[in-house]
Chain A
Amino acid sequence: MSLLEVLSELRAAHSAQIAAWRHFPERPARRAPTPETLHPALKDGLRRRGIPALYTHQAEAVASALHGEHVCVVTPTASGKTMCYNLPTLQALLNDPAARALYIFPTKALAQDQVTELGRWQTTLNAPVAAATYDGDTPASARARVRKSARVIVTNPDMLHTGILPHHTRWAELFEGLRVVVLDEMHTYRGVFGSHVANVLRRLRRIAAWYGAQPQFILSSATIANPTDLATRLVEAPVTVVNDDGAPRGERHFILVNPPIVDYKLGIRRSVAAEATTLARHCLAGDVQTAVFAGSRLSAEVILHNLQNAAQTPVRGYRSGYLPQERRATEAGLRDGSVRGVVSTNALELGVDIGGLDAVIIAGYPGTIASTWQQAGRAGRRGSLAAAMLVARGMPLDQYLVAHPEYILGTADGAIPSPEHALVNPDNALILTDHIRCAAFELPFAVDEAFGASVPHPQPLSHFGRGEEEALRPPIPPAQNGRGEPEKDSSSPPLPVWERGQGGEGHVRRQLTQDILEFLASEGEVYRSGAQWHWLADAYPAEGVSLRTAGADRVVILNDAASPRTIGEVDRSSAPGMVHAGAIYLHDGAMYEVERLEWEAGRAFVRPVSVDYYTDAMGSVDVEIVAEAERRVVPGGVIAHGEVEVTAKTTGYRQVRFSTGETLGWGEVDLPAQTMLTTAYWLQLDEATINQFRQEGWWRFDPNDYGPTWAAQRDKARARDGYRCRACGAPERTGRGHDVHHLQPFRTFCYARGHNRHDLVANRLENLVTLCPSCHRRAEERQVVRGALSGLAHVMGNLAPLYLMCDPRDLGVLSEVKAVGTGLPTLTIYEGIPAGLGFAAALYERHARLMADAYDLIAACACPQGCPGCIGPTTEADPQAKAWALRLVSALMGEPA
């Protein structure tokens, strides 16, 4: 059976589940002549390698790079990005025997492929352009040879950070000759990691400058909304973005699949694993070579198990835990077609060469649109049909995306404008301080030196459907001449990267740098002598700075086998919520359960498990505004962002089923409260709006008078329930009795003291249930006012990652009916990372869009009264909660009742 037949069968059999179906017709290649400025040997090499002409984007990128510009290529998977940076690099190496280049890849697999490709060029050119990897796997005996003889060093950010920069004198040849730095998969350098990498690049440029080199940067990225902005922040100089993809595309179908609702009232859908299995079975039955991408290792195993039981064709698994030989065998089998099906985690997403498959099934939104397309891009060969299917989970973001397919599939005109902004904040105080320490270790700081440059514009968020911020792209003066050599006497350098001038931005940066050095001096790490700060401590700072976390105070995660092995670490501030005893910790696609957390020692012991739930920590959060940076009046109230102090105490957690979001169980946690300075964006409703809601008759928030018999009834209910929580079974703890909750809300009985005795009806034991404080809070949250506010908070917290490319856990959401201080209903989204990364400011910018999207999400959800896919889980739904949440958002969008 052909793929086309499989697809038409699918369309017929599963039409109810198909949320969107887009057909992308075959698109021929657009080619352009090889740039005039390309070295004759390279032109000849292209011919001899059977490449008569470059694609348009390759020609443009190569020409810009040869012109000396920093270039960022933003095109899809398999569009020939490698050529865009290899040609200018090879040209630099051919022109100057002393020239060197540095290639930085996020993973080792990608690095290995590059060395192979450069090796082919070395053969073609018969010139000394040797490339070698330098990473944790490079044997000690080979390292000296790599340093001496390789002209292209292929490495990763972590190795650059701990292994190369702090030992730069050993790499003098590399730095003296450094002409080109290639940064591939730029979109992965975002959030905490990206903010660290931006600082590693600052250190790289600082060291290169000391050796007299000013390298040119060539970057490549998957499609994101703000490539210019991100590239500019990483390079700290103007960057030319090339995004006119001229590579050919085969014909392709992209289908968004929403599993059917199995429990209409609770809004629970059929699981993603089951749906993906069905789809994969269809494909495999038609002998369509298929890859299934699962969101977690567990999910991958479940699908693999299902398929191996059902399908006649052999199906392989592929993830990080498998042996290298197994993986190589699977890769080879996929390439030669002998393996017909594979189930993988995102391990197959980047780099690994498996050729083009017929179909890709993505089981659950992978978290970013960029990843979605990278996974989808695994299907497709020239001249043949390919299909990609995304199966949505019951979660709000997945549901939002199937309701708004244009986010993934693009608009009718064929454009696929991403809403995803990759944000970095290299000046996050914690991260910046750590890298100034590393930089001071590498070279003394001058007392008038500024570390890094400030990119003057705020990180703007373009509107969906609009192109990249044009204003950010300043005119580019040619910094280098056509042969890729630095211009000796360029009178006006592009952006003053190492500003030492007086006044203005340079002054602020210098002040910032010097203040931090002063701080480090007071802490006994650097020492000022004359006009220089010297590192003066018996320590190797790069060792203690992980590029994956912010802040020095960490909790290490140890696999509690016979010999404990570190598998990861988290910031101490996030530890209570992420690695409390009983928490499920996901790492590299594998699941672990935390057995115990040694708080003082900063160690969490975990063991591998295989369960179908994750844990969601609960507790009290208190946010105090420290400094407001900006505020503005919006419909319904005021929004602002700024610095806040978050005090969080984790008191318990719930176990949540992956596929559906239902709560499976509860647990308690006893850990000290954590305070953290970070940034937040908040929305405060104004009095007029609240009054409006009151007049509409639904906004009531007055403490209840439960009538004279309440105390006695409450005790009876507790005794009846055995002093245990009826929801989770937790017994009462000494000194703190459980709460008693009205099943049908008390206020609906319209009790009025002295006028009626409706309280007697409301307080009947049948209407009462004993709940522990955690469960009670959840039950109460579903009541009217809280329900509307927290429902909106739930939606906003789940939508935000769509614009910010962050993990939902990077953000905290708080809804308060009466905020301390103002007494006004307030909704706060704060960043989970000390000092913040700019997410708060970005959301502030995007407030109107966020409201509109929140409205769309709630309105489009098919559930009657709220469900895990929109305003949150409701087991005892207030029948009006969803309607009121919608009313609240519409008021915030400026619409009258």
Chain B
Amino acid sequence: MSSEPMSMRDRLERLRGLGIRRGAEVFSGAPAQTPSAPRSVRRHQDISDVVAGADIETPHGACFAAETRYAEHGGLPVGMPLPLAALLPRLLRDEALGRVDLRRAVFLDVETTGLSGGTGTFAFLVGIGTFEGDAFCVRQFFMRDPGAEPALLHALAEATAGYEAVVTFNGRSFDMPLLTTRFRLQRRRIPLADAPHLDLLLPARRLWRARLGSCALGSLERGILGVERVDDVPGMIIPYLYFDYVRTGRVERLERVFYHNALDIVTMAALLARMSAILDDPDGGGVIHGADWLSLGIVYEAVGDETLAGQAYQRAMATALPPELHEQAKERYGALCKRQGAWDEAVAGWAAAVQAGTTRRLYPYVELAKFYEHRRRDYPAAMDVVRQALVLVETSDVRDGSLSRAATLDALRHRLARLERKSAGAPS
């Protein structure tokens, strides 16, 4: 084929002619992109017109930075850190966290051009929160365009210098690996690489999943802190707001992205305060909901403190919990008693559940049947329980764990048949 250089126009026509169709998906909320000559659009506004902040000069150029100070969040004071709960390092199996002084920790959250990972996704806004004086101070570093990354990373490295720990929400799998890649692409080492890293996602799940189901930061913020954001942007569209800004210069909606990022960081600080309160001082005002006792029981179990766990479950059952959580507390308590050999206690719980006939779960039947069969060798009693369980499964959608209806029935019938054999062979 001819090696004459084609004109670019020809080449583009040719690529289109070949049916190459590309283009970032346009989400419904954003103005449609104008593909033609985006760079010719004159910027009427700068980020500083919508976000209070100023440029920081770095050897790699300027980086826009904004600062906001918070004394409280959702009615909780956030200006002063509580000492980190002693249980947290044990729960997370990370001794280094035990030495963390939150005054020397950086709370970090990034806003990125996507979630897919890989070297083509970058953080255009990085926010860090630190305790300063009597306030929690959030500083945000922003890239006016993708070429400003070296300046941003430089500013970030400077701002985090001298700190000793990092606190994130899901930062172990997202924020830190992403920043590690970005720093590496600038042939730099990420600051705080080997510093203790407290990722709040795991303890948040332990403490609040029972109650809230979802442990997304937004759900925690609403459910635990009672904060309702004003005119927030959904995280999903944030990349597109940035693309739109880069290509057209429209800055208005970025103000909400800064707001979103800053609130995420303050929320982390407030959540950590609540966690510490619950873990360190449950009776002194830490526990504000019966479900917290259930969660605490789970935490105590996880760190191997079964006595405290049993007490926590009992206290949970004593409060007016929603039926699901009440069942869960009972199940866990029963299992704990069984493990500790406290059969009377365990059996009493299971029998009560079976007798009441209100349970929507199969485990008390199964546990009770096992107890009668293997411990008491009281086969008729065991068969009686199994028959009740069969009725329950046949007349409802109750299943054994993840088993199907048929498999559940099979397992129960198998047990029954065995009991019948044993019962026939046993002296009456």
Contact = CB atoms under 8 A, between A and B. Distances in A.
B33 interface: yes
A515 B8 contact: yes
Contacts of A527: 145-146, 246-247
Interface string B1-38: 11101101001101101111111110000000101101
Interface string B194-236: 0000000000000000000000000000000000000000000
Given A519-B12, A537-B24, A539-B114, A529 B120 contact: no
A310 interface: no
Contact of B1 (A442, A532, A572, A841): A841
Interface string A402-435: 0000000000000000000000000001100100
A96 B115 CA distance: 38
For B1, B24, B117, which residue has the most chain A Cβ atoms within 10 angstroms? B1
A538 interface: yes
B3 to A, nearest CB: 6
A429 B12 CA distance: 10
B408 interface: no
Contacts of A430: 18, 20
Contacts of A553: 19, 21
B25 A538 contact: yes
B403 to A, nearest CB: 20
Contact of B117 (A508, A540, A629, A835): A540
A530 B147 contact: yes
Interface stretch (B84-92, B180-188, B367-375): B180-188
B402 interface: no
A69 interface: no
A552 interface: yes
Interface in A518-546: 518-525, 527-530, 532, 534-543
B116 interface: yes
A533 to B, nearest CB: 9
A534 B146 contact: yes
B18 A539 contact: no
B120 A166 contact: yes
A527 B17 CA distance: 23
Interface string A158-196: 000000001111101000000000000000000000000
Contacts of A653: none
Interface string B169-191: 00000000000110011000000
A541 B115 CA distance: 13
A516 interface: yes
Given A169-B180, A442-B120, A552-B20, A677 B14 contact: yes
B18 A834 contact: yes
A518 B15 contact: no
Interface string B322-342: 000000000000000000000
B77 interface: no
A519 B11 CA distance: 9
Given A169-B184, A430-B18, A524-B33, A508 B3 contact: yes
A433 B20 contact: yes
Interface string B233-267: 00000011001001100000000000000000000
B22 A536 contact: no
B120 A440 contact: yes
B22 A520 contact: yes
Contacts of B19: 551, 553, 572-573, 676, 834
Interface string B105-145: 00000000111111111000000000000000000000001
B39 interface: yes
Given A516-B15, A523-B22, A537-B24, A169 B119 contact: yes
Contacts of A258: none
Contact of B24 (A166, A522, A538, A835): A538
Contacts of A679: 1
Contact of A538 (B14, B17, B147, B240): B240
Contacts of B12: 515, 518-519, 522
A44 B212 CA distance: 67
A528 B181 CA distance: 21
Contacts of B118: 166-167, 441-442, 540, 542
A511 interface: yes
A536 B119 contact: no
B27 to A, nearest CB: 9
A443 interface: yes
Please indicate which of the listed interface residues A166, A440, A443, A629 has the most CB atoms of chain B within 10 Å of its own CB: A166
A126 B40 CA distance: 63
Nearest to A678: B18
B119 A442 contact: yes
Nearest to B1: A629
Given A443-B119, A508-B5, A538-B25, A522 B35 contact: yes
A66 B157 CA distance: 44
Interface string B37-59: 01100000000000000000000
Contacts of B247: 524, 527
B35 A524 contact: yes
A784 to B, nearest CB: 36
A529 B185 CA distance: 17
Interface in A359-397: none
Contacts of A516: 11, 15
B275 to A, nearest CB: 29
Contacts of B121: 538
Contacts of B5: 507-508, 511
A424 to B, nearest CB: 14
Given A519-B15, A677-B14, A540 B33 contact: no
A538 B1 contact: no
Nearest to A531: B147
A523 B23 contact: yes
Contact of A529 (B2, B18, B119, B145): B145
Contacts of B115: 538
A640 to B, nearest CB: 12
Contacts of B38: 521
Contacts of B120: 166, 440-442, 535, 537, 540-541
A844 to B, nearest CB: 11
Nearest to A170: B181
A679 B18 CA distance: 12
A441 B246 contact: no
Nearest to A511: B5
B248 to A, nearest CB: 11
Contacts of B24: 524-525, 537-539
B181 A169 contact: yes
A519 B239 CA distance: 21
B21 A552 contact: yes
Contacts of B35: 522-524
Nearest to A835: B18
Contacts of B1: 629, 642-643, 679, 841
A168 B11 contact: no
B25 to A, nearest CB: 7
A622 to B, nearest CB: 16
B174 to A, nearest CB: 14
Contacts of A551: 18-20
Count chain B CB atoms within 10 A of each CB in A518, A536, A677 and give the residue with the most: A536
Nearest to B22: A523
B116 A539 contact: yes
Contacts of A520: 22
The 3 closest A-B pairs by CB, nearest first: A529-B147, A441-B120, A538-B114
Given A524-B33, A834-B18, 11 more contacts: A169-B181, A442-B120, A508-B3, A519-B11, A524-B35, A530-B147, A532-B147, A538-B114, A538-B243, A551-B18, A551-B20
16 contacts: A166-B118, A429-B14, A429-B15, A430-B20, A441-B119, A443-B185, A515-B11, A521-B38, A527-B247, A529-B148, A536-B243, A537-B114, A538-B115, A538-B243, A541-B120, A552-B22
Interface of B: 1-3, 5-6, 8, 11-12, 14-15, 17-25, 33, 35-36, 38-39, 113-121, 145-148, 180-181, 184-185, 239-240, 243, 246-247
